[in-house]
Structure formats: structure tokens, C-alpha cells
């Protein structure tokens, strides 16, 4: 098997002790000799991933067409497909630097802020807003953070240590969402470790980790940082009805200096004190979470803090469909990374850049690997992470749109954002309402949820029958279809507009011929319906719903 050498290399990496990994010491590679450090970040990524192709005796796919790439970079960065005009503009641009330029423009756009606000709000509080949590507060916090491109370490510290009113300090909504049950901050501990440090330790609340050296005691040492957290749900009297109703919620720090007790599997009770990766904190510290925040970002002796590494891995996963580890939030010696050198270098440079989120995205999106097509052939068919293989990034992996991406893309495809019905704010609340049909909560302390926007029948029914789709294929005056159809010009030109709007590409000659053949069944008077049905088909197609 051609992937064997990589596996062996990784297993060797895995035998390095956990203490080394969690101390954050970069596991340096000698693969590129002494000159590796002289390469720029992007050159280093490209060279290292290229080396992976050679080691595994595969050939990468071709570079994606402009049409494929522009759609992808819009979806991944702005959270929607490009509009017809945006696509045309990019396709007609002949500058050799147009990729880099577009990435920069997208990172400075409002849609980037909106997209990342959506993603991180979902990460932190879920899609179904838990009880006594302010979605508006959480979104406002992220909107400001991404708009100002605040350093990621500052964002994390604000989230992990936040106190106060859930709309005045929106960061606290993360904590409130993890405190749905009186579970001694177990969920807050597990989620914080997973989300921001990229480590899954939730199973160690009951027993030592089966595959790495994480101990049950460590879970409770982490947990003891969060035991001073208290939430207060305020109530008020409704002046109209005279009834007591929910008011705001807030996070406060309570006086707690004791150790934490936990039960071993043997039934013995044990104590745990606040200790972070071997660093003890005075149990009498006035605010243990503040101490935790300092330790999160501490970079003693040049180590790369785990929050940097975890974020890089997650961001890579967002752009490529697979991170360097699977899942992206379970890093550690038990789960070796596919490209440890790239992960380490990117993380180190990210930290050096003062945790510059836009810079990190720019490195990722400008890499050679991100430019490749999603089509693959005999030469790299083995690069198939969906079958469980380690990703080699020799072609783009297909992702399916998230529900929010679909919603925003339909609006882009049909120019609905131009029709003047409210701004993004109004659309935000419409989108939020629409989302609810896909989300079911489990009602557990983990605040977890399931979505039926997962490629199964409910999603297909929505795409075929919903009012959202009816609106998208609407032919009233002012609609996208009406404007396209009413324009003078040949059918083949109009077909081209439909394909460009929905799939960001021109139809092939075969597709035009095929469409015209199908059109003939509609007769002369039925042409508008033919256009409508074709547009419906384009929006319902696999090609539309896939990010490829």
C-alpha cells in the first residue's frame, strides 16, 4: 500500500511522550533540511504538501478552473456563492495576481464578517439558541471581533474569562450556553478544552483516557478553574401583564477557593486543584478563570500555545473539508496529524503574526493545494479521506453547503439582496427563523443538537418545494428570472446567465443543446416555464449544493 511510509512516519511521531506534545514543543521535521526556515509560510506549506505527494507516489490533480475556484473561495470565505456580476468580473480579469487580490478583497468584505460570525456563533452556542442565552449578544461580540480583526488570543481570553450582562458583554454567552444544567461546570470544562485547545477530554471525567496519557485527575484539575463561575438569571415584572418574565442573564464570579472532589471508578473520592498543563495556580486566586486565560496564551521558551495550533487546524479543516487531524478538535499523540510540519509551522507563524486571523486565512487560501480542482483521477484516487484515509490534499475535497451558506447563496443567485427588502440585519432574522426547521436539540447538559439539513430527505423536500425555492424561481417583474428572460438576446446567451448565476460557470455546448431539446417540449408559450424549470433544476442539483 502506497500510504505505508507516511503511516510509519506518523507512528514514530506518536510515540513521543504526551508531556512533550502538551508542552507545545514543536515536533520539528528534518524533511526539508536546513533551508526550511528560510521558506515563506506559503512556500513551506506548498513544499511540504508536495513532499507528501512524492512520499505516497501520487500526482496532484490539475489546478481548478477559474469558475470552480471563484465559487469555492466565495463560499469558504464569504459564506455564499458569488453573484452573477462578481463571477463575470473575476472571469474577465486577466491579472496573474487575481487570486490573491480576490482573497484580500473577500477578507475585507462585510460578508466575511457575517460568515465567520455565523460559524463561531454556531460553534459557541449552537444553532438552536439555548435557554437564557442571547444570540444577539454572541453575534455582536463576534461581529466586532472579526470586523476589527482582533487577535485570536484576545478573543479566546474574552470568551473564556468573560463576566457580566449577556448583551453588554456578548462573550459570556459561550459560558451561559455551557451551563444549561447544574453539572459542576463539567460541560464548560469539556467544551472549552475541545473548542479552544483542540483536545477531547470529556470521557476522562469518569476514567483515564484510553488512548493517551490524559488522566481523570487532569479533567478535574481543569474543571476546578471553572468552579467559581456562576450564572444569574434575572427576572422582571412585565409592566403590561403584571407577570414575572425573563430578563437578562449574567455571569459572575463567586467566592470559591476549595479543591474539587471527584469519584474514581473504584469508588474512591479524590481531590483536584487548579493545574494547567503542569502549572499550578494558587487555589486562593481571586479569579481562577483569569489565571486560566493567562496560562492559555503564555508562550514560555518559545512554545506555540495550544490555542494557536487548535485554531489553525480548525481553519484548515474549514477550507479543505479535512483538518490535519480528524476530528479537528481531537489533537494529541494518540491521533497523529497528517502533516505535522505544516500544522506546526502555520501555528508558529500564526502566533508570531499576533494571532492575525485574516493573515492565516490568506496563507491557507493562497496555497497551491487550495487551488486544485476537486476532480481526481487514477493518479490520486487513493487520496480519499472520506474512506478513512489520511488526507494528502492532492485534490480539493467536496463539502456540502451548510444551511446558512445555502440560504445566502440562494439570495446571491437570485439578486434578492438587491430587491431592497431590509438589509442584512433583516435577512439575518429571516434566516434564523428559516433555520429552525432543521434543528432539533437533545436537551442535555452538552447543549448538543442534530440537524436535518444533512443531505437527507427533509433537505431535499425543502429544496424542491419550499417557499424559499419558489421565491428563487419567481418570474414576477423585478425577479432575476424575469430580468434575464425579458432581456433581448438569444436563448443560448440567457442559458449562460442562468448557469453563471447558479453554478458560477458557463454551460458546455452539450448542456446548451440538451437544454434546448428539453425546452422544445414546452412549446412557444411555455418558454418562461422552461426557464423556470431549468433554474429550479440548477438550484436543486448536486453541483449547486456542493462546495467543490
Nearer to another protein, 114 or 395 (CB): 395
Nearer to another protein, 298 or 440 (CB): 440
Binding flag, residue 208, another protein (CB under 8 A):
no
Alpha helix segments (H runs only) across 168-215: 172-177, 186-197
Instruction: Encode 463-492 in three state secondary structure.
Output: HHHCHHHHHHCCCCCCCHHHHHHHCCCCHH
Sequence-distant (≥ 6) Cβ neighbours of residue 497 within 8 angstroms = 84, 484
At 464, list the grid cell. Answer: 424542491
Binding flag, residue 424, another protein (CB under 8 A):
no
Q: From the CB of 17, what's the least distance to another protein, in Å?
A: 22
* d(C-alpha 486, C-alpha 495), whole Å: 13
Nearer to another protein, 126 or 162 (CB): 126
Nearer to another protein, 71 or 140 (CB): 71
* d(C-alpha 250, C-alpha 368), whole Å: 46
**What is the chain's Cα-based Rg?**
26
At 389, list the grid cell. Answer: 484515509
Exposure on the CB side of residue 87, measured as CA atoms within 13 A:
25
Distance of CA 340 to the CA centre of its chain: 20
Applying CB under 8 A, among 183, 287, 368, 491 the residue interacting with another protein is 183
At 307, list the grid cell. Answer: 490555542
Nearer to another protein, 144 or 533 (CB): 533
x-marked contacts with another protein along 215-254 as a string, rule CB under 8 A:
----------------------------------------
Applying CB under 8 A, among 43, 57, 282, 470 the residue interacting with another protein is 470
Interface size with another protein, residues (CB under 8 A): 85
Nearer to another protein, 257 or 466 (CB): 466
Q: Which helix (H) or strand (E) holds 280?
A: strand 279-280
Nearer to another protein, 351 or 463 (CB): 463
At 444, list the grid cell. Answer: 442535555
Q: From the CB of 70, what's the least distance to another protein, in Å?
A: 17
Which residues between 482 and 541 bind another protein (CB under 8 A)?
508, 510-511, 514-515, 518, 521-523, 525-526, 529-530, 533-534, 536-538, 540-541
Sequence-distant (≥ 6) Cβ neighbours of residue 166 within 8 angstroms = 132, 133, 134, 137, 172, 173, 176, 248, 249, 250, 251
Nearer to another protein, 287 or 389 (CB): 389
Q: What is the DSSP letter of 80?
A: S
Q: Select from 40-48, 71-79, 169-177, 442-450 the region that touches another protein (CB under 8 A).
A: 442-450
- DSSP string over 323-346: -SSSSTT--BTTB--SSHHHHHHH
Query: Helices 424-435 and 403-413 sit at what angle, rounded to 10 degrees?
Result: 130
Q: Select from 43-51, 73-81, 251-259, 459-467 the region that touches another protein (CB under 8 A).
A: 459-467
Which residues between 368 and 387 bind another protein (CB under 8 A)?
374-377, 384, 386-387
Which residues between 308 and 327 bind another protein (CB under 8 A)?
325-327
Q: From the CB of 442, what's the least distance to another protein, in Å?
A: 5
At 72, list the grid cell. Answer: 469555492
Residue entry with cell 461580540:
141
Q: Select from 7-15, 162-170, 181-189, 401-409 the region that touches another protein (CB under 8 A).
A: 181-189
Beta strands in 318-410 (DSSP E): 399-400
How far is residue 232 from each of residues 130, 136, 181, 235, 387, measured CA to CA in Å? 15, 18, 13, 10, 47
Which residues between 327 and 366 bind another protein (CB under 8 A)?
327, 330, 335
Binding flag, residue 13, another protein (CB under 8 A):
no
Q: From the CB of 421, what's the least distance to another protein, in Å?
A: 14
Applying CB under 8 A, among 17, 455, 478, 489 the residue interacting with another protein is 455
Nearer to another protein, 362 or 380 (CB): 380
For the chain, the first-to-last Cα distance in angstroms comes to 28
Amino acid at each position: 500500500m502506497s500510504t505505508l511510509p507516511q503511516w510509519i512516519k506518523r507512528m514514530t511521531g506518536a510515540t513521543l511522550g504526551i508531556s512533550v506534545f502538551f508542552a507545545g514543543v514543536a515536533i520539528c521535521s528534518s524533511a526539508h533540511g536546513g533551508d526550511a526556515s528560510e521558506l515563506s509560510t506559503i512556500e513551506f506549506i506548498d513544499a511540504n504538501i508536495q513532499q507528501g505527494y512524492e512520499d505516497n507516489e501520487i500526482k496532484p490533480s490539475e489546478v481548478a478552473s477559474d469558475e470552480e475556484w471563484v465559487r469555492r473561495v466565495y463560499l469558504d470565505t464569504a459564506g455564499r456563492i458569488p453573484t452573477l456580476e462578481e463571477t463575470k468580473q473575476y472571469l474577465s480579469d486577466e491579472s496573474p495576481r487575481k487570486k490573491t487580490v480576490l482573497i484580500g478583497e473577500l477578507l475585507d468584505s462585510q460578508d466575511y464578517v457575517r460568515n465567520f460570525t455565523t460559524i463561531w456563533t454556531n460553534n459557541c452556542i449552537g444553532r438552536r439558541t439555548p435557554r437564557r442565552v442571547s444570540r444577539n449578544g454572541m453575534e455582536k461580540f463576534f461581529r466586532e471581533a472579526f470586523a476589527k480583526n482582533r487577535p485570536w488570543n484576545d478573543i479566546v481570553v474574552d470568551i473564556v474569562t468573560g463576566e457580566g450582562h449577556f448583551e453588554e458583554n456578548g462573550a459570556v454567552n459561550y459560558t451561559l450556553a455551557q451551563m444549561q444544567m447544574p453539572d459542576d461546570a463539567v460541560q464548560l470544562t469539556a467544551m472549552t478544552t475541545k473548542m479552544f485547545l483542540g483536545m477531547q477530554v470529556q470521557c476522562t471525567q469518569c476514567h483515564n483516557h484510553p488512548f493517551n496519557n490524559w488522566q481523570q485527575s487532569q479533567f478535574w484539575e481543569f474543571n476546578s478553574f471553572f468552579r467559581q463561575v456562576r450564572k444569574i438569571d434575572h427576572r422582571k415584572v412585565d409592566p403590561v401583564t403584571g407577570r414575572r418574565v425573563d430578563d437578562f442573564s449574567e455571569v459572575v464570579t463567586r467566592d470559591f477557593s476549595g479543591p474539587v472532589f471527584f469519584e474514581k471508578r473504584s469508588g474512591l473520592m479524590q481531590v483536584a486543584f487548579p493545574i494547567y498543563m503542569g502549572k499550578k495556580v494558587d487555589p486562593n486566586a481571586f479569579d481562577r478563570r483569569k489565571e486560566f486565560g493567562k496560562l492559555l496564551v503564555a508562550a514560555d521558551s518559545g512554545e506555540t500555545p495550544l490555542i494557536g495550533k487548535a485554531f489553525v487546524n480548525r481553519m484548515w479543516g474549514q477550507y479543505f473539508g479535512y483538518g490535519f487531524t480528524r476530528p479537528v478538535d481531537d489533537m494529541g499523540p494518540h491521533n497523529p496529524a497528517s502533516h505535522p510540519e505544516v500544522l506546526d509551522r502555520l501555528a508558529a507563524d500564526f502566533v508570531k503574526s499576533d494571532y492575525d486571523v485574516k493573515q492565516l486565512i490568506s496563507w491557507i487560501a493562497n496555497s497551491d493545494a487550495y487551488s486544485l480542482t476537486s476532480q481526481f483521477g487514477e493518479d490520486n484516487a487513493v487520496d480519499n479521506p472520506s474512506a478513512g484515509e489520511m488526507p494528502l490534499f492532492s485534490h480539493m475535497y467536496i463539502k456540502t453547503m451548510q444551511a446558512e451558506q445555502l440560504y445566502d447563496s440562494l439570495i446571491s443567485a437570485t439578486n434578492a439582496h438587491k430587491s431592497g427588502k431590509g438589509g442584512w440585519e433583516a435577512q439575518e432574522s429571516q434566516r434564523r427563523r428559516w433555520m429552525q426547521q432543521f434543528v432539533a436539540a437533545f436537551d442535555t447538559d452538552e447543549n448538543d443538537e442534530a440537524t436535518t439539513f444533512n443531505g437527507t430527505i427533509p433537505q431535499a423536500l425543502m429544496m424542491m418545494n419550499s417557499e424559499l425555492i419558489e421565491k428563487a424561481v419567481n418570474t414576477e417583474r423585478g425577479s432575476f428570472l424575469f430580468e434575464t428572460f425579458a432581456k433581448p438576446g438569444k436563448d443560448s446567451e440567457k442559458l449562460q446567465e442562468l448557469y453563471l448565476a447558479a453554478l458560477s460557470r458557463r454551460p458546455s455546448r452539450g448542456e446548451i443543446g440538451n437544454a434546448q431539446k428539453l425546452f422544445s417540449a414546452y412549446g412557444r408559450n411555455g418558454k418562461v416555464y422552461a426557464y423556470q424549470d431549468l433554474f429550479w433544476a440548477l438550484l436543486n442539483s448536486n453541483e449547486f449544493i456542493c462546495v467543490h
